[in-house]
């Protein structure tokens, strides 16, 4: 195992990797409940989508661990499933079966681009400053996501966002979780994030805010209602509207995955000479998981930014991802136990990881305005638009512009000019 995953080379061990895998799984376990519920609004069978979600996550995480040797867990993407359910199916009236076909095609296109090396070249063409900005932006984004899900931050008509109800027991539980995890981190407790989540869950059960599971094992539901529908309805995708759907899946998944990969690689210290090692393998894993997920019956599968929680615990190799896959597979049989993983439990992990990730801003040369502008917009717009992909798009449009105006156009990779043009077209015709 040490030789296959290169544990010593990455200065880690089996115990650390297992702890990291458990932490990553717990941080992203909410997808097991949120994804089926969201896709169920389209008319898809709830239990079938649950099984499809698990299987897509298992396959994707296994591929990421065994092929790419990265500590990244995969599962159906939250922003992508929202687009699938509420835009493609609800607003545009496209049947969920046809929408799944669109997901399948986008995954196949990704595989082709990955095998050709185009996706890896694109990621390596991104300047270091923007990679650091992406990492910092995702840090702010997931911290905001955690605070929002826990009700600590809420919507407000006057100020857009505001402080939530601190007299609410679920909110207080999340606040307790953040405080106890901060204490664990400050005293350098090994696995502080994981133990912070565990402590929060236990306290939640003791005070009655988290239901104590009455059942441990349950039967595995059938995936038959959704299995294969993406293949059966491939003939329905040849319309201008479906072309837009596929392109949107393509854009969002491409840059969500790229952003997550860059963020995790930076945090783990993998990036050398502004290049992400084994990027092609990790991108192939992501693409293959999307294809498998679509066939089983779920929206686009992508790399999860919550993987940074496992990296923060010490995960450095694919063994972390394999542990994530094992945990997902066990969830098929022990789904009642996952009920204790509420937003109050995951919020401390997301907030602490956000704190750790924003350290990337220290590597950005803010004294150079041509660099500061795109980096600033990457970070700010991720939060304000609640979209990693949108933040990347806006920042990447500004980068070539400011660099050219500064006379540094030769330092801009040609791919960045192409990406700027594509993003502009994306905002004109798609958004």
Q: What is the pLDDT of residues 161-216, one digit of tens each?
A: 999 999 999 999 999 999 999 999 999 887 788 888 889 999 999 999 998 888 87
Query: 43: exposed, middle or buried (C-beta count within 10 Å: 0-12, 13-18, 19+)?
Result: exposed
Region 404-409: mean pLDDT is: 96
What is the β-pairing status of strands 153-156 and 160-163? antiparallel
Instruction: Tell me the CA distances in angstroms from 87 to 236, 294, 390, one per residue in order.
Output: 18, 18, 16
Region 75-84: mean pLDDT is: 84
Q: Are 40 and 274 in contact (CB under 8 A)?
A: no
- Give the CA dihedral 234, 236, 238, 239, nearest 10 degrees: -150
**Alpha carbons 343 and 161: distance in angstroms, whole number:** 18
**Alpha carbons 124 and 336: distance in angstroms, whole number:** 43
| Residue 338 pLDDT | 67
More confident residue, 430 or 65: 65
The model carries a pTM of 0.76
pLDDT tens for each residue of 297-307: 999 999 988 89
Determine the Cα angle at 281 with ends 275 and 283, to 5°: 80
Whether 409 has a pLDDT exceeding 70, the answer reads yes
Residues 6+ apart with CB under 8 A from 287: 107, 110, 111, 114
3-state secondary structure (DSSP) of residue 153:
strand
More confident residue, 227 or 431: 227
Whether 389 has a pLDDT exceeding 80, the answer reads no
Instruction: Round the average pLDDT of the chain to a whole number and report it.
Output: 90
Q: Which of 375, 13, 410 is nearest to 190 (CA)?
A: 13
| Token pair belonging to 177 | 């979780």
| Residue 325 pLDDT | 97
> Across the strands, what pairs with 281?
none
| Residue 358 CB coordination number (10 Å) | 17
Where in the chain are the domains? 2-132+211-341, 365-431
Q: Are 299 and 44 in contact (CB under 8 A)?
A: no
Q: Are 343 and 175 in contact (CB under 8 A)?
A: no
What is the β-pairing status of strands 160-163 and 74-76? unpaired
| Residue 421 pLDDT | 93
Region 284-308: mean pLDDT is: 93
**Alpha carbons 285 and 101: distance in angstroms, whole number:** 19
| Residue 55 pLDDT | 97
pLDDT tens for each residue of 325-383: 999 999 998 777 767 878 898 888 889 888 988 888 998 999 999 999 999 999 999 89
Length of the chain: 431
Q: Which of 200, 268, 346 is nearest to 16 (CA)?
A: 268
Q: Which of 281, 300, 298 is nearest to 290 (CA)?
A: 300
Q: Are 332 and 220 in contact (CB under 8 A)?
A: yes
| Residue 431 pLDDT | 67
């Amino acid at each position: 195992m040490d030789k296959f995953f290169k544990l010593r080379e990455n200065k880690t061990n089996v115990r650390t990797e297992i702890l990291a895998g458990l932490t990553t799984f717990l941080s992203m376990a909410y997808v097991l409940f949120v994804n089926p519920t969201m896709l169920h609004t389209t008319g898809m069978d709830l239990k079938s989508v649950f099984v499809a979600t698990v299987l897509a996550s298992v396959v994707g995480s296994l591929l990421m661990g065994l092929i790419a040797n990265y500590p990244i867990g995969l599962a159906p993407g939250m922003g992508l499933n929202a687009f699938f359910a509420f835009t493609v199916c609800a607003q545009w009236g496209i049947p969920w079966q046809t929408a799944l076909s669109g997901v399948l095609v986008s995954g196949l296109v990704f595989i082709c681009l990955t095998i050709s090396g185009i996706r890896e070249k694109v990621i390596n063409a991104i300047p270091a400053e923007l990679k650091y900005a992406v990492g910092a932006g995702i840090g702010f984004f997931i911290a905001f996501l955690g605070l929002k899900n826990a009700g600590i931050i809420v919507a407000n008509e006057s100020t857009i966002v505001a402080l939530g109800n601190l007299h609410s027991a679920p909110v207080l539980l999340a606040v307790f979780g953040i405080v106890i995890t901060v204490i664990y981190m400050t005293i350098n407790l090994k696995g502080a994030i994981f133990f912070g989540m565990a402590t929060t869950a236990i306290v939640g059960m003791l005070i009655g805010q988290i239901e104590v599971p009455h059942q441990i094992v349950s039967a595995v539901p059938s995936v038959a209602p959704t299995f294969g529908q993406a293949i059966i309805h491939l003939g329905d995708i040849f319309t201008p509207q479906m072309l837009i759907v596929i392109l949107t899946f393509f854009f969002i998944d491409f840059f969500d995955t790229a952003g997550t990969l860059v963020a995790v690689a930076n945090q783990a210290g993998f990036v050398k000479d502004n290049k992400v090692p084994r990027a092609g393998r990790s991108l192939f894993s992501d693409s293959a998981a999307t294809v498998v997920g679509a066939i089983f019956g779920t929206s686009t599968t992508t790399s999860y930014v919550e993987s940074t929680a496992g990296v923060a615990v010490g995960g450095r190799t694919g063994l972390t991802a394999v542990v994530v896959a094992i945990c997902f597979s066990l969830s098929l049989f022990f789904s009642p136990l996952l009920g204790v993983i509420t937003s109050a439990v995951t919020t401390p992990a997301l907030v602490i990881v956000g704190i750790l990730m924003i350290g990337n801003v220290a590597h950005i040369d803010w004294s150079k305005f041509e660099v500061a502008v795109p980096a600033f917009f990457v970070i700010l717009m991720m939060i304000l638009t609640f979209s990693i992909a949108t933040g990347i798009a806006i920042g990447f449009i500004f980068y070539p512009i400011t660099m050219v105006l500064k006379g540094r156009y030769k330092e801009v990779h040609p791919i960045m000019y192409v990406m700027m043009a594509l993003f502009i077209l994306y905002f004109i015709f798609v958004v």
